[in-house]
Structure 1
Amino acid sequence: MSALVRLAATIAARKGSDPNSSWTAKLLAKGPEKTAEKFGEEAVEAVIEAVKGDRSRLTAEAADVLYHLLVMCASHDVTLADIETELARREGTSGLTEKASRGT
């Protein structure tokens, strides 16, 4: 089992837990808007580190981004399995083709 799968399982297990018991439970208790805000903050921090070119800091921020992405998705009942299914659906399709099919 990968670290990402274990992380997603931990986040799912924390859903509905006492907010005083874990950071994840506290974030989820604050609602989807707060989880989205935290994800956005972490994404910006990762971009900053990417621009700076600090590989170590980018790695740390990328880990934060993945964690907060999974928390945000959990707050909307979107699981890692749902995301993996969507990625599998897109496999073998050109990124340009896939983007054009969404009309964006």
Structure 2
Amino acid sequence: MSEIHDLAATIQSRKGADPDSSWTAKLFAKGPEKCAEKFGEEAIEAIIEAVKGDRAKLVSEAADVIYHLLVMLTARDVTLAEVEAELARRAGTSGLEEKAARG
């Protein structure tokens, strides 16, 4: 199992846990909207580091983005497997064709 799958499993295990027991459980307790807000904040921080060109900080912020994306998905009962299935569905389709198909 890869690190991202391990992380997704850990995040899933924190859903419904005591908010005092972990940061992830605390995020879930605040609701899906707060989870989405945190994902947005981390995405903006990653964008800033990408523009600045600080590679180490970008790597760190990218890790935060992935963590908060998984928290946001889990808050809405969307699994990593579902996202992977969508990526697999798109594989072999040109990005332009795929984007046009979504309208």
The one-letter amino acid paired with 2:51 is V
Alignment of 1:1-104 (within 5 A): 1-103=1-103
Q: Distance in 2 between matches of 1:52 and 1:42?
A: 15
Aligned residue for 1:77, secondary structure, equals: coil
Q: TM-score, normalised by structure 2?
A: 0.99
Structure 2, unaligned stretches of length 5 or more?
A: none
CA deviations 1:34-83 (Å, max 9, x no partner) are 00000000000000000000000000000000000000000000010010
Kindly report structure 1 stretches of 4+ aligned residues shifted beyond 6 Å: none
Q: Gapped runs of 5+ residues in structure 1?
A: none
How many corresponding residue pairs?
103
User: Aligned-pair distance for 1:7?
Assistant: 0.2
Q: Distance in 1 between matches of 2:84 and 2:29?
A: 25
Cα deviation for residue 86 of structure 1 reads: 0.4
What is the TM-score when the length of structure 1 is the normalising length?
0.98
Question: In 2, Cα distance between the equivalents of 1:81 and 1:11?
Answer: 14
Displacement after TM superposition at 1:16 (Å): 0.4
Cα root mean square deviation, aligned: 0.4
